[in-house]
Structure 1
Amino acid sequence: MEIRQDQIIGSSPALLDLMDQISRAAPLDRPLLVIGERGTGKELIAARLHYLSNRWNKPFQKMNCAALAETLLESELFGYEQGAFTGARGRRAGRFEAADEGSLFLDEIGTMSMSAQEKLLRVIEYGEFERVGGNETIEVNVRVVGATNIDLPAAADAGEFRHDLLDRLAFDVLTVPPLRERREDIMTLADHFGRGMARELEWLTFPGFSDVATEAMMDHHWPGNVRELKNVVERAIYRAWDGEQPVCNIIFDPFDSPFRPPAKTNRKQREATTTTNRPLKPAEQVPLMPEGPFDFRAEVTAQEKRLLEHALKRNRFNQRATAAHLKLTYDQLRHCLKKHDLL
């Protein structure tokens, strides 16, 4: 997603539903969770929640919880007193103090230690905390917006996340749809990113994308979502050299090269590979066909579907690459995918 003049680009039904949920949740002074895959724009959603709230003219602080070690995370969130640890030469305010009266966005909140989670719960419930190494109680008024790309309820059931904190954060949960569920927005976003890159390269005009390029982008699975789309589009624009013709060369994997060095493997991976490649003992061998009578057509159909699924995953759901991998034409592959409900 991209915010331009406080607007999120896109008009797909899935995005419009999310926008409506944001508009309803923003004015309420409650903690919220934003859930979504990498690259879907969770930080931008949090910013929109802040600027549509009554706190819009107060501080909006952001922090990635996965970027810091446990001890540093607590110091960054809650601040510290002089002498709290080696190198603490003076008092320092944390993000909660900096965000007082405003909002604090905590990205990758599922990576927080249990100790930090306990302190976070106290701030959300009572609006108070102590700096690291101090005993003075500090009161703040901060709205917390957490974000993650993991299943927090499952993490809580596994003992990796506090159930009580999850209950407090989940006043409402905004789940950001991945780009593959917003296909109507793909070319709108591609055009926006393309125009921006063309301006950066000082092109006189932006000629758009060819039909082949458009079809390739529409067929791509976009595992990296909007962040990946932005990189792909900007890469295609800069490699086009000029803006005389519509951009046609789309490169999804910049590492794809016949000269790419082989991946290094550690000892455990080598042992696993050796174990995997060793001959199977008779008791481990899988029968070539089911025992007893079986439905031949159903068995062939199931195997064909498994092969298609494997080829799609191997080629990152790029249908043209999958077709080439299977030595099929693009139309033949599309027919097979429709046959097995894989589109």
Structure 2
Amino acid sequence: MNQKEQPIIGESPAFLAVLEEVSLVAPLSRPVLIVGERGTGKEVVSERLHFLSTRWGGPLVRVNCAAISEALLESELFGHEAGAFTDASRQRKGRFEQADGGTLFLDELASTSLAVQEKILRVIEYGQFERLGSSRPVEVDVRIVGASNVDLPAEVEAGRFRADLLDRLAFDVITLPPLRERGEDILPLAEHFAMRISRELGRELFAGFSNDAAAALLDHPWPGNVRELKNVVERAVYRCQEPEQPVDQIDFDPFASPWRPGSDAARTATRPVDPEHSDFQLREFLDGEERRLVQLAMTRCDEHQGKAAEMLGLSYDQLRGILKKHGLSGKSGRPRD
């Protein structure tokens, strides 16, 4: 498997139900829609649909429609003749022709214009289209698999997506569950990503996650789903400088910093102080620094009070007092002996 691809790993009922649905529809040369939140693995499911179909020996061509400007997308999909537009010095086959006999995966389908949608509909209905700059029809045999992370029926209601195209694409719709609904799959996926980056780093083994780290992974809501999990785990593994020890530190937000542009601490730090013409007070300054350091420690320790106390060189009760003083909170937990 390509190192960039997400694996088919999961044992949760919601995920197993999706795999069963994919296996049922894969052999049919009908359009399929895959919908789900960002990072849920829509491209991976499209690959499974292709390789479980009778088209598995043909090409699997992928297009991220949102990554191509509206002006170029039509040419990218349907190709063009020489002279069709400026810089079109020679004929070029589009992605539909490249996918002839196989599968065309159209990701971020909702970002396409109504004009492009009309041409896609024509391919589905008649198996033919015209290149830009030509009136001669080109015939292709392509199975279309579309994907979207937005509500396509709502897009139809808003006039941004063709109802007739949605009807033709939605022979079957596979809706991928978010990772927060796949609790049983979080740790197996995390261990897979951890072992993979451990090999990439040249380490002989991955020592696993500590109980606190595993609990943090299970408690996180994962708005970025499997893609976010991969980034979080790989970051935690490479930052762990003692590979023979279990990974104990999980940082969910790589932007967390008191010096992040726009943060309160950054604005305070850039404000000049004139001691002769200011009401600036030492106690106010010290309280602000105390709050900033405690917040930074709590962020880096995933809000775990016991670990933050160790990092700051405080007792657990001292940190609790400071948190109460500043109206802060976090996970309870005493430092290990």
The alpha-carbon distance between structure 1 residues 55 and 191, as it changes in their structure 2 partners (threshold 3 A), is: same
User: Is the CA contact 1:101–1:141 (under 8 Å) kept in the aligned structure 2?
Assistant: yes
Q: Secondary structure at the match of 1:258?
A: coil
> Highest CA radius of gyration, 1 or 2?
2
Q: CA–CA distance in 1 between the matches of 2:31 and 2:303?
A: 41
TM-score under structure 1 length normalisation: 0.77
Instruction: List runs of 5+ in structure 1 lacking aligned partners.
Output: 264-314, 333-343
Q: Which residue of 1 aligns with 2:144?
A: 144
Q: CA–CA distance in 2 between the matches of 1:151 and 1:262?
A: 33
Q: Which residue of 2 aligns with 1:274?
A: none
The alpha-carbon distance between structure 1 residues 245 and 228, as it changes in their structure 2 partners (threshold 3 A), is: same
Q: Which residue of 1 aligns with 2:119?
A: 119
Q: Which residue of 1 aligns with 2:229?
A: 229
User: Is the CA contact 2:6–2:41 (under 8 Å) kept in the aligned structure 1?
Assistant: no
Q: Which residue of 2 aligns with 1:288?
A: none
Q: Secondary structure at the match of 2:75?
A: helix
Q: Which amino acid in the other structure matches residue 166 of structure 1?
A: L
Shift in Å at residue 134 of structure 1? 0.8
The alpha-carbon distance between structure 1 residues 144 and 320, as it changes in their structure 2 partners (threshold 3 A), is: farther
Aligned positions of 1:86-125 closer than 5 A: 86-125=86-125
Alpha-carbon RMSD across the aligned residues, in angstroms, is 2.4
Moved over 3 A (4+): 2-7, 318-321, 324-332
Residue-by-residue CA offset, 1:10-50 (whole Å, 9 max, x unaligned): 10000000000000010011000000111111001001000
Instruction: List runs of 5+ in structure 2 lacking aligned partners.
Output: 264-298, 306-322
Residue-by-residue CA offset, 1:301-321 (whole Å, 9 max, x unaligned): xxxxxxxxxxxxxx9xx8869
Taking only the aligned residue pairs, the percentage that are identical comes to 58
The alpha-carbon distance between structure 1 residues 65 and 236, as it changes in their structure 2 partners (threshold 3 A), is: same
Q: CA–CA distance in 2 between the matches of 1:44 and 1:320?
A: 35
Q: Which residue of 1 aligns with 2:174?
A: 174
Shift in Å at residue 327 of structure 1? 3.8
Q: CA–CA distance in 2 between the matches of 1:204 and 1:139?
A: 53
Q: CA–CA distance in 2 between the matches of 1:188 and 1:326?
A: 37
Q: Which amino acid in the other structure matches residue 193 of structure 2?
A: F
Q: Which residue of 2 aligns with 1:280?
A: none
The alpha-carbon distance between structure 1 residues 45 and 239, as it changes in their structure 2 partners (threshold 3 A), is: same
Q: CA–CA distance in 1 between the matches of 2:143 and 2:156?
A: 22
User: Is the CA contact 2:304–2:332 (under 8 Å) kept in the aligned structure 1?
Assistant: no
Aligned positions of 1:41-60 closer than 5 A: 41-60=41-60
Q: CA–CA distance in 2 between the matches of 1:80 and 1:185?
A: 45
User: Is the CA contact 2:81–2:131 (under 8 Å) kept in the aligned structure 1?
Assistant: yes
Q: Which residue of 1 aligns with 2:331?
A: 330
Q: Which residue of 2 aligns with 1:259?
A: 259
